[in-house]
Amino acid sequence: MFEILEHTADIGFRARGATARELFENAALALVSIAVEAGGIEAKHPYPIAVNGEDRASLLVNWLSEVLYWLDGCRVALGRFEVDEITEGRVVGKGYGEPRDSSKHPPKLVVKGVTYHQLKVGQDSEGWFAEVYLDI
């Protein structure tokens, strides 16, 4: 679903999906797993995520930035994602999770933001892929 990429100043990941929806869901899981210990997250409650963008790359950055907002700004640990709609200019979906508890979801790295640095979003014979670097 995703793999961590090494970088000197930041951390990155490569995510894949059979569809664009699955790619966005898996990329969100990668982000959460970098920031917190995600194994104990109970995907109980739905939290809405909707973003706009000019292209797939900006949509992915905006989607992941919204996930990060829920994680840090709202203190919600999200353990499952569902994209309901994806168009050229909009992504609408939900993250499922619970209020963040540092004993249940211990922090791993402080993710300050999602960057455009070396960002790649595309499609190949295996489906959709993305390479994303996070500012830590």
Measured between alpha carbons, how far is 42 from 63 in angstroms, rounded to an integer? 21
Query: Structural domains in the chain?
Result: 2-135 (3.55.10.10)
Residues 40-71: tens digit of each pLDDT = 899 999 999 999 999 999 999 999 999 999 99
Tokens for 73, please give them. Answer: 């700004």
What is the pTM assigned to this prediction?
Answer: 0.91
Q: What is the pLDDT of residue 83?
A: 98
DSSP string of 95-128, one letter each residue: EEEEE--TTTS-B-----EE--TT-EEEEETTEE
Give the mean model confidence (pLDDT) for residues 9-14: 86
